Amino acid sequence: MWRMPRRVAAAAAFANGVHKGRFSVATLLVAIYPIYCFCSVRAINETHFTDSSSQLLERFLKYGSKPSSIAVDDALLLFEAMVHRQPLPSIWAFNKLLTALARGKHYPTAISQYKKMGCLPIQPSIYTLNIAINCFCCLSKAAFGFSLLGTILKLGYEPDAVSFNTLIRGLCVEEKID
């Protein structure tokens, strides 16, 4: 790849020469054609990349994933594919991805993706918030879990047994309960 800047420099030199009348336009086209081919191949590869991520997303949403079988890189790829999809997938699809991350013990990544969801025009469900509470409690940060309990109440949801049990387990992990 270190030859690419040389080609660009050569094309610029030819363009400068054409402008000053030293070279013909045909000479310029011969110099630029390899750069054009490189860019075209790159665009085809990027399109293939998005197609494969789209297929990966479809498979994930249709068949799911074993809890520990999803890699962090694949999860990030899936999340980005979901965010850029039009129309935006339902909250159920995001919950499925967060659940796979949490079950695979990728708690910081799951929390990061939950925070990114805050910028999307999707309101988190009680399940989304419970997943985030679980991740915070597993990282011994029950205080953040309690702040999400406040978010549950603010959004008008009723905390369920999962919410309370997860928070109690988080307090036990931090040894704040006798």
CATH topology classification for 86-178: 1.25.40
- CA dist., res. 15 & res. 51, Å (int): 36
Q: Which of 26-35, 44-53, 97-106 has the highest mean pLDDT?
A: 97-106
Mean pLDDT of 103-107: 92
pLDDT value for 101: 92
pTM equals 0.67
Q: Which CB contacts under 8 angstroms, 24+ apart, belong to 161-164?
A: 162/130, 163/126, 163/129, 163/130, 163/133
Structure letter (DSSP) for residue 158: P
Q: Is the pLDDT of residue 27 over 80?
A: no
Owner of token pair 């109440």: 153
Q: Give the model confidence (pLDDT) of 87-97 as tens digits.
A: 898 899 999 99
Q: Is the pLDDT of residue 158 over 60?
A: yes
Residues 20 and 87: their CA atoms lie apart, in Å, by 51
- How far is Cα 36 from Cα 161, in angstroms, rounded to an integer? 60
Do the Cβ atoms of 88 and 122 come closer than 8 Å? yes
Tokens of 28: 């310029």
Amino acid residing at 28:
L
pLDDT at 12 over 70: no
| Ranges in the chain annotated CATH 1.25.40.10 | 86-178
Q: What is the mean pLDDT of residues 112-119?
A: 94
Residue 101's Cα: distance from chain center in Å? Answer: 12
Helix (H, G, I), strand (E, B) or coil at 84: coil
pLDDT at residue 119, as a whole number: 92
